[in-house]
Structure 1
Amino acid sequence: MKRRYIPYWLGFVVFFLTLSRAVQAQATGGKSQLTIAFDTTSKPIQFGVSQLEKALNKSSQGVRKVPISLDSKGRGILVSVQPAQSEVFIREEGYRISYQNNSLLITAVDAAGAMYGVLDVAEQIQMGKSWKTLTPKAVNPHFTVRALKVNLPWSSYRLGPAMDVHKDVCRDLAYWQRMLDQMAENRFNVLSLWNVHPFAYMVKPTNFPEANAFPPNEMADWKQFWTALFRMAKERGIEPYIVNWNIAVSPEFAKAYGVKERNDTSAVVKRYTREVVTQIINEYPDLAGIGITLADWMSNFSGTNASLPEMTPKDREDWIEETVVAGIKAANRPVKLLHRSVLSADPGEMRRVINNAHLPDTTLVEIKFNWSHGHSTPVLALTHDSHSGKRDDGYWNPMPSNYRIQWMIRNEDFFILRWGQPDFIRKHIAQNTAPYVNGYFVGSEGYIPAKDYSHVTSAHRTWAYAFEKQWLFYQLWGRLLYDPATPDAVFEASFASRYGLKSGKPMLEAFSAASQMPLRLASFYGSTWDYTLYSEGFLSPFSAGKGAQDTVSSFISINELIDHSTLDPTYLSIKEYVDQIVAKKKIPTGKMTPVALADLLDADSKTVLQRVQQLRSSASPTLACELADLEAWAYLSRYFADKLRAAVALQTYRLSQDKSQQQKAITYLNQCLDHWRKVSEITASHYHEVPYTEGYLSKENAFKDSQRFLWSNYQSQVERDIVLARE
């Protein structure tokens, strides 16, 4: 028998392999390594795997990442992008989790779906589950458009310190990276960036170089900023859009070419707009879409400014067709179009332009749900596309073939206190899903979630940016728009993980109850545009035309509450309710009375304070900050409840002259004063005065007490209600 001769060099190979494994084991703390095989060239999947790796490492599981190949075998996690399987239909951005040959398979038809599947597995591991025993499932997105609306502080639509304070933060790519990370984790897939005229900050127009005054080095900085921002979005499965107001040019353009900044329909402005749209599409290959809004200055619809030319709906749409649409079609690649529905729009004319455009992708048509106060009732009571603000179904009837509707859920109602109500969002989606609807936009006009300028400096302030403080708001909207069946357990686990709690259920219960207050107020106190209601402040700086407006303060007085009509058609106003009670009429079935609403608010408050008491003893300083917000909402709920009861009693007295009703109103209003003092005390421990309408409103029509906001500023108005009741 021949003796086999082993080459001497093979001994060195074995030695170095053994040494390498020993070093690797030492580097991972001796953990066994789990193989994750995936397309390592895909940025969205890379992002998802990075989150999965963190979750596994936290559970003491080492990770080995390898490129996927056709013959990948062995025990581990396999992330695969492939055509949909016939037995389980997976759409774009959907995914399937299953097991095969002792491996966990995450299957999708595109990179975004694979990323979401990996994030799902990471989340389940964070919740204490094992990757080996997950429940197989297939998930598809409920909506294809899940968008955030973020206003930019330069060339901003709203003016003043509340915008200016964000300029440095919004130029910092570190902010946008964190924002985009949370968007991907929460399944948002569209980032829409809004300002009056973005183009001058994006390019030096070829035929109009004086459109901006940036020197070459500064223009290069802007170009680098936008390029990096759009690329980061794309790498996370997010489509970036820019949205502007029409008709507008930069101040530099207006001066250089002798035109007006607003509403100048001259040939030079038309040519510039068309060409700059084309140039921006060509210079920014990762820009996914351009949005256009038929803004206030395209028509003198209010009849208050005779200098504005009157543009018919056809004129406005012709302008869009000859500038924005023409610019898109002249570009060297396609982008998507977002056509907003606002006061100056007309569904018939809009359909004509979209039909004539023959764009390859479905056009987005965004409609404000209940105008600027989408956080109200899930009933579509009014939109923003007619002078009356009433519903106009011409946008979806007949069913469009080349565009779909997205509901804009504006938030002009709470900028400071944290908010989160999952059942409201689920109910909203259930009631407003239709064949013509493919998504939602969520965001504010008067608030940018960038610098947190409301919270006092403190050691427990662990968040860098305002959206991180409001993490639950974004998690709820994003996750539920993707999958309304996402259980509360997911959100409860987020609380438990964030604060080291045994269970996050009490926190979610507390938030669900606390967050009803602004929804109930906005449903009861009918409003329209931004500054007609600010729910967390109990303010109405401008009239919505739904009742007598106070001439003393922006604070909603007892008289305003009595006189005002409701937004939700199932709610009875104070006057309607008292009229029926005095006339001894039966309250119609299905109607929400002010007294019943007050009882609900009290029940909410009780739930919140019970949960806060339960959690306070073991709360970390940052958790205590969240608990303080919950307490503030609880006492705002009590304030609103007792003010409703006071309003019913006072109106009853005014009709019947029953003095006991007047005294009852005064008693309730004294209780309101106690509640407001409590709100002021709680909020003063964490927040300082902030700009609200400052810098935006003119001297002629502004309440001075709305310019800067803090709850304690309005105690005198709470006391004034008592005087009004006595008089």
Structure 2
Amino acid sequence: MKKILFYVVLLLLTISCADTQSVHLSFDSTSLQQQYATKKLSESLLKNGYSIAENNAAVTVEFRLDTTLGKEAYTINNQGKNIVLTGGNETGLIYGANSIVEDLKNGIKLNTVENRSESPQLLFRAIKFDLPWDSYRHSYALSQHDEMCRDLEYWEAFLDMMSYNRFNVLTVWNLHPYTFMIKPKNFPEASEWTDEEMKEWKHLFSSIFKMAKERGIDTYVMPFNIFVPPSFAEKHGVALNNLEHHHYVDADTSQIIKTYTRESVTQLLNEYPDLSGMGLTLGEGMGGMTPFEREQWMQETIIAGMQQANRTSKLIHRIPFSGNTESLGATSMEMEQITRDGIEKEAAMEKIEKPVWASMKFNWSHPHSTTKLIKVHGGKLYGKYFDPIPQDFKIVWTVRNEDFFCLRWGVEEFARAHIKANTPDYVGGYFIGSETYIPAKDYFTNPDYKISAKYAFERQWLFYKLWGRLLYNSDTPNTVFINEFKQRYGETHAEKLFKASNLAGKTPLRLVSFFDSTWDFTMYAEGFTYRNPETENVEFIDINRFINQPPLDTTFVSIANYVKNTSQQPWPKEFTTPIMLANDLERDSKEALRLVENITEDNTDLMYEVADIKTWAYMGLYMAEKIKGGLALETYRQNSDSKNKQLAMTHLENALGHWDKIIEITRPIYNDMPLVHYSENNGKTWQENDSLRFHWALLRSDVLKDIDIAKQ
């Protein structure tokens, strides 16, 4: 009898234990977004030992909608056997489900999930993605991504990353996107594709937009203006000055181009119902036009095309950078007022959804510098966009990344401070992304080293997680990021890696703050290179340029200015002197190296994380010694004291030693990398150089020249 009773109890315990592992998901199966949310939650539950049950489950996760929470907000209410996940909209449900997935990854049991709620700080959290077809710049560095960007598995992975990190806008850019997406009904000569090829293009873009919609991600097509296909230009005898699609050429505003553009926009919106909206840019291919004429052209083409579509759509209006008729003109108060008037007119239109997103570049092409707004593309702001505070449009900052493509980067302190300092009520969000780098093919990693990342963006996982999560909620705790390190590399090193990444990753921010730059190749911090305005080539920043270049951040003091005005010391406390900057670089770089010095586990992914931290740290030490060498050299030039000349040489020799450490770390593990590069001829003719390759080892002779400069 006792034996029978024992087996009965054992059977009941077995059933009970099995029952505690079963989960029922209650959701609206007609909703694409809820289907996606439950799919990701189910995958995580199964991976963590749970089973999915249709009924009689130990725990039910119930999906509900409550619009009073607000867009993209969510709450989780754990009632024991019933977990209620409520979203302010469908996207909020996705974020709530992903929040539970995150708990499961961190080892938290489903029945102990804590109650919580979150709501978005900013409703526009976008990634700028330049397509490799008819790209803004013509280069192998971009075209090499062609095959991968046609692969829907790539886009599924990229969009999953966006959703998990709470980015809600994907913008795809190229010079003239229409011919890759539609065959214009009244202008078939504008398309070079066969019907079968066009079918493939349509399947690609339709699938991308549908997958994005499932994940709660808006999509925008961002054309540049004014461009037309060469076949169209040649047939109609228009735009013949720009068959190769260069940027800075005089505009051709022929009526047939206006008609073609307007009809293309309408057809595009009608044929892609999952596409959320359009963007417009003013500047490229618009030489000779006044700000008013450029705005009027947009009204007659893109905006008119949106109005003639059979549905409503959303709009991104990029703030123009030319306040005159030049393609490379400067900002002006008149331009701001004309642009604001145009945006407000667009926002009032029936088929354009509010708000209109008005995008401008924070600190031109190099916002990974200082959290202070120094300038936008073209120069300073005059305030017309903000005063009075707009009602129907919102400013969105474009935080471009043209400064680190190879090395992993993540400075939580910078991203958090940037968002908190630059989001008054009239700001609706941020773009992040690049114009000269596509995060698709990993062309950096030496194939002899097998890493888990299949795609380039996966290498920069911390970059995307920091920006995405903090743009959604700038009070997101650091445990979110540290836990990701734990999941990847174990608990032992997680906090050290997070701290070291924050410290070492300040190096490029400080370099770009210290060295003024404007558009893309006027600075490439990762390579310590810049575009020399005299030779028009991308060159290493030698000691002379380093001494004399004014800072981007106006509270930094250049080496030349510091030595010239030594009698004014001490400098006011709000200024960062070269000595202070060198000390900060040295302190943080040494601490970063100390934190990772004993991390030697046999894990290739971890090895790369540590190697990149060390590379940034040694670059920080290199920069610190170069500052000290520059101070001594400039002082010698002022007073001819040979002790300062010798001191300069000593510091620059020390700098070479740190550069050699960078080479020692990176030479075995990174390829020579193709970069977008070109020379310019009077702003008209562009010559691409696909043979240029970057690696720190290739610049050693330039580093050595600094010592020769000091000797001479």
The two structures have a TM-score, normalised by structure 1, of 0.89
One-letter identity of the residue aligned with 1:725: A
Would the alpha carbon gap of residues 266 and 133 (structure 1) be closer, same or farther in structure 2, given more than 3 Å must change?
same
The equivalent position to 2:34 in structure 1, one of 42, 45, 50, is 45
CA distance in 2, matches of 1:237, 1:174: 18
Give the drift of 1:240.
Answer: 0.8
Matched residue, 1:594:
578
Matched residue, 2:357:
364
CA distance in 2, matches of 1:170, 1:586: 55
Matched residue, 1:275:
263
1:237 maps to 2:225: no
Q: Does structure 2 retain, via aligned residues, the 8 Å contact 1:296–1:344? A: no
Give the drift of 1:235.
Answer: 0.6
One-letter identity of the residue aligned with 1:272: Y
* SS of aligned partner of 1:375: coil
Give the drift of 1:553.
Answer: 6.8
1:615 maps to 2:599: yes
Q: Does structure 2 retain, via aligned residues, the 8 Å contact 1:241–1:288? A: yes
The equivalent position to 1:81 in structure 2, one of 48, 62, 65, is 65
The equivalent position to 1:653 in structure 2, one of 636, 643, 657, is 636
For each residue in 1:393-446, what CA deviation from the matched residue of structure 2 results, as whole angstroms up to 9, or x when unmatched?
A: 222222112211100000000000000011100000010011110000000011
CA distance in 2, matches of 1:720, 1:95: 58
* SS of aligned partner of 1:324: helix
CA distance in 2, matches of 1:421, 1:708: 27
1:225 maps to 2:204: yes
Matched residue, 2:331:
none
Would the alpha carbon gap of residues 718 and 129 (structure 1) be closer, same or farther in structure 2, given more than 3 Å must change?
same
The equivalent position to 1:724 in structure 2, one of 694, 709, 712, is 709
The equivalent position to 1:251 in structure 2, one of 221, 230, 253, is 230
Q: Does structure 1 retain, via aligned residues, the 8 Å contact 2:593–2:614? A: yes
CA distance in 1, matches of 2:370, 2:231: 44
One-letter identity of the residue aligned with 1:113: G
For each residue in 1:329-354, what CA deviation from the matched residue of structure 2 results, as whole angstroms up to 9, or x when unmatched?
A: 01000111111113136222222223
Matched residue, 1:302:
none
Gaps of 5+ in 1: 1-21, 67-71, 85-89, 300-309, 544-548
CA distance in 2, matches of 1:506, 1:38: 41
Matched residue, 1:571:
556
* SS of aligned partner of 2:95: helix
Map 1:125-274 → 2, pairs under 5 A: 125-260=104-239, 262=242, 263-274=251-262
Matched residue, 1:382:
375
1:337 maps to 2:315: yes
CA distance in 1, matches of 2:681, 2:51: 61
Give the drift of 1:686.
Answer: 1.0
Would the alpha carbon gap of residues 703 and 673 (structure 1) be closer, same or farther in structure 2, given more than 3 Å must change?
farther
Which range moves more in the overlay, 189-198 or 102-111? 102-111
Give the drift of 1:59.
Answer: 3.0
Matched residue, 1:520:
510
One-letter identity of the residue aligned with 2:591: T
Map 1:316-327 → 2, pairs under 5 A: 316-327=294-305
CA distance in 2, matches of 1:255, 1:532: 35
* SS of aligned partner of 2:539: coil
One-letter identity of the residue aligned with 1:433: T
* SS of aligned partner of 2:663: helix
1:32 maps to 2:16: no
Would the alpha carbon gap of residues 552 and 527 (structure 1) be closer, same or farther in structure 2, given more than 3 Å must change?
closer
Would the alpha carbon gap of residues 326 and 550 (structure 1) be closer, same or farther in structure 2, given more than 3 Å must change?
closer
Would the alpha carbon gap of residues 706 and 213 (structure 1) be closer, same or farther in structure 2, given more than 3 Å must change?
closer
CA distance in 1, matches of 2:688, 2:643: 34
* SS of aligned partner of 1:93: coil
Give the drift of 1:133.
Answer: 2.6
Map 1:417-432 → 2, pairs under 5 A: 417-432=407-422
* SS of aligned partner of 2:193: coil
Give the drift of 1:622.
Answer: 1.6
Give the drift of 1:722.
Answer: 0.5
CA distance in 2, matches of 1:155, 1:530: 18
Map 1:63-142 → 2, pairs under 5 A: 63-64=52-53, 75-84=59-68, 90-100=69-79, 102-142=81-121
Matched residue, 1:408:
398
Q: Does structure 1 retain, via aligned residues, the 8 Å contact 2:537–2:679? A: no
Give the drift of 1:584.
Answer: 5.2
Give the drift of 1:78.
Answer: 1.5
Q: Does structure 1 retain, via aligned residues, the 8 Å contact 2:222–2:278? A: yes
For each residue in 1:98-138, what CA deviation from the matched residue of structure 2 results, as whole angstroms up to 9, or x when unmatched?
A: 13364221111211001101111111221122222333222
The two structures have a TM-score, normalised by structure 2, of 0.91
CA distance in 1, matches of 2:144, 2:657: 34
Would the alpha carbon gap of residues 702 and 331 (structure 1) be closer, same or farther in structure 2, given more than 3 Å must change?
closer
The equivalent position to 2:381 in structure 1, one of 391, 394, 404, is 391
Would the alpha carbon gap of residues 594 and 330 (structure 1) be closer, same or farther in structure 2, given more than 3 Å must change?
same
CA distance in 1, matches of 2:576, 2:451: 40
Q: Does structure 1 retain, via aligned residues, the 8 Å contact 2:315–2:353? A: no
Give the drift of 1:695.
Answer: 5.7
Q: Does structure 2 retain, via aligned residues, the 8 Å contact 1:97–1:117? A: yes
Percent of aligned pairs with the same residue? 41
CA distance in 1, matches of 2:509, 2:338: 35
CA distance in 2, matches of 1:321, 1:494: 46
For each residue in 1:353-411, what CA deviation from the matched residue of structure 2 results, as whole angstroms up to 9, or x when unmatched?
A: 23333233211111000000011100000101x4xx12332222221122111000000
Matched residue, 1:62:
51
CA distance in 1, matches of 2:276, 2:385: 24
One-letter identity of the residue aligned with 1:122: V
Q: Does structure 1 retain, via aligned residues, the 8 Å contact 2:398–2:432? A: yes
CA distance in 1, matches of 2:542, 2:679: 23
One-letter identity of the residue aligned with 2:310: N
Would the alpha carbon gap of residues 171 and 434 (structure 1) be closer, same or farther in structure 2, given more than 3 Å must change?
same
Matched residue, 1:710:
695
For each residue in 1:566-611, what CA deviation from the matched residue of structure 2 results, as whole angstroms up to 9, or x when unmatched?
A: 0112211112211222x25321122111111111111121122112
Would the alpha carbon gap of residues 593 and 680 (structure 1) be closer, same or farther in structure 2, given more than 3 Å must change?
same
The equivalent position to 2:587 in structure 1, one of 603, 607, 610, is 603
* SS of aligned partner of 2:264: helix
Give the drift of 1:704.
Answer: 8.1
CA distance in 2, matches of 1:83, 1:711: 53
1:436 maps to 2:426: yes
Matched residue, 2:4:
none
Count matched residues.
673
CA distance in 1, matches of 2:441, 2:688: 26
1:663 maps to 2:646: yes
Q: Does structure 2 retain, via aligned residues, the 8 Å contact 1:79–1:105? A: yes
Would the alpha carbon gap of residues 553 and 139 (structure 1) be closer, same or farther in structure 2, given more than 3 Å must change?
closer
One-letter identity of the residue aligned with 1:629: D
Q: Does structure 2 retain, via aligned residues, the 8 Å contact 1:541–1:702? A: no
* SS of aligned partner of 1:486: coil
One-letter identity of the residue aligned with 1:521: L
Q: Does structure 1 retain, via aligned residues, the 8 Å contact 2:675–2:690? A: no
CA distance in 1, matches of 2:262, 2:29: 40
Give the drift of 1:52.
Answer: 2.4
The equivalent position to 2:619 in structure 1, one of 632, 636, 641, is 636
1:585 maps to 2:569: yes
Give the drift of 1:58.
Answer: 3.4
* SS of aligned partner of 2:360: strand
Q: Does structure 2 retain, via aligned residues, the 8 Å contact 1:383–1:392? A: no
